[in-house]
Amino acid sequence: MSTDSPAPRHIPVMLERCLDALAPAISTPGAVVVDATLGLGGHSEALLTRFPDVRLIAVDRDPRALELSAERLARFGDRATLVHAVYDEIPRVLDELDVPEVHGVLFDLGVSSMQLDEADRGFAYSQDAPLDMRMDQTRGISAAEVLNTYGHGDLARILKVYGEERFAGKIASAVLREREREPFTNSARLVELVRNAIPAATRRTGGNPAKRTFQALRIEVNGELEVLDRAIPGALDALAVGGRIVVMSYQSLEDRLVKQYFQAGATSTAPPGLPVIPEELQPWLKLLTRGAELATEEEIEENRRAAPVRLRVAERIRRTRR
């Protein structure tokens, strides 16, 4: 999730495209929009500014992000409600706020600019820092604990599945060997271990060889795919007819999961040749993007964190859901 911050170099990813995609659903008085990944509030601020009648409900699992966003969005008063929660908890949040349905939902997945830029969070492989990687540092286990306690099979699995790392087994073996000598605490040592475990020919291409390992650890520590697997259907259930959902993914595992839910909702489940299709078997989602949209070259030049983004938009077209 790439977000805005007080520093001008932090630009919300595909901001205008997100606003334009949501506009038909949230331009009417009384519309409610959920920012499922508040971060530093760049997208939320733009939504509240462009749509003066909209009510915003924004969630984030990171207490520090909520604190900074509260300052940024304070001028909007009670139009903005910020909640400390993970985005799979959106149904509970809406229920507690007595909001039966919403008209727009925005997901900007992955790690935020703030989390990448704050060295002590341990998300960035480009600078030495404690191996934490928790988006909510008040709960859960750190990346260091994963490295120091997981068995070879579990380590290799998360590196292969979550990092799509070809050399997962070799890296896992090196981790187990090195932690016997000294437990892992900081990122620089892990970066060096990965570099040494990967063949030289592979190191020469594809950027920093530790990128996939760091991605895998972050996903494991924060349970990102399991949370997303609950969050997308929960958000879709909350959408009013005519409501729209926008999801920006930054790696293929996320995008594949979003695509599966969107396509399932946009596909009839009626048997072939049925002369009349009952409403409960008809599609209840309409896909508004052909495949996944990418950031433009101009935006990538302005904001390098937009390079991997994959954006999908869908609209709820009927109440019935299978």
Q: What angle do CA 102, 106, 111 make, to 5 degrees?
A: 145
| Bind-site residues | 41-43, 60, 87, 108, 115
Integer angstrom CA distances of residue 150 from 97, 162, 177, 264: 40, 15, 13, 35
- Whether the CA torsion 60, 64, 65, 67 is positive or negative: it is positive
The Cα–Cα gap between 17 and 23 comes to: 10
- Are 299 and 306 in contact by the 8 Å Cβ rule? The answer is yes
Residue type, 182: E
| Bind-site residues for S-adenosyl-L-methionine | 41-43, 60, 87, 108, 115
Give which of 10, 8, 57 is closest to 35, Cα–Cα: 57
Give me the DSSP letters along 109-156.
-S--HHHHH-GGG---TTS--BS---SSTTSS--HHHHHHH--HHHHH
The Cα–Cα gap between 102 and 93 comes to: 12
Integer angstrom CA distances of residue 30 from 55, 101, 103, 306: 7, 11, 9, 32
